[in-house]
Amino acid sequence: MQFNRMITFYKAMGDPTRLRIVALLRDQKLHGQAIAGKLGLKPPTITHHIDKLREAGLIRESRVKNTIYFSLEKKVLEGQAKALLSFGKGKPSMLPEVTEEERVKILDAFFNADGSLKTIPAQRKKRMVVMAQLVKGLKYGKAYSEKEISTYLRKFYADYATLRRELIVYQFMYRKNSIYEMNPPELWG
């Protein structure tokens, strides 16, 4: 199983300054100078901590002219907390709940008889069911090159790059240096 994402997250959150930055960004966007001023630290120190939070996926950036504003990715924070609480229960807690009947209807609607994907669903619930189906042929603990993942996904859909991106966005897989690994189901969604 791929625990690197959880480890990166908890390492980032294990620093008092980073916890204070997360608390500051909970309800507002701030630029680096403002964060430094509120915490009484120098801008290079804030840059270092922002980099660690960005690595963990906790920070979103937006630019207004020459100023970069930082905001908190609350969904990532909530997702990691849910993943920790459900870890080891053996069921994906972050996926929308669907009955077996709904799952079968969704798969029938979006997959052809040959197993290829007709289209990527727009609705999140349906997209999660489709993505969960796609990763069934991949193995936990195995590192895949980008080429291997692309070749695998190409069997399902011509726009395999979009599928590859979706697997990362919805945390079915973890990517670092063009190497892909499956995340535990607790992180999916």
Q: Which domain holds residue 61?
A: 4-75
Q: Are the C-beta atoms of 88 and 52 separated by less than 8 Å?
A: no
- CATH code of the domain covering residue 52: 1.10.10.10
User: pTM (2 decimals)?
Assistant: 0.54
Same-domain status, 130 and 181: yes
The model's pLDDT over 132-189, given as tens digits with 9 standing for 90+, comes to 999 999 988 889 999 999 999 999 999 999 999 999 888 888 888 889 988 877 677 7
Q: Which amino acid is at 1?
A: M
The model's pLDDT over 3-28, given as tens digits with 9 standing for 90+, comes to 567 778 888 889 999 999 999 999 89
Domain count, the chain: 2
Write out the H or E segment, with its range, that includes residue 30: strand 30-31
Query: Which tops the pLDDT comparison, 96 or 161?
Result: 161
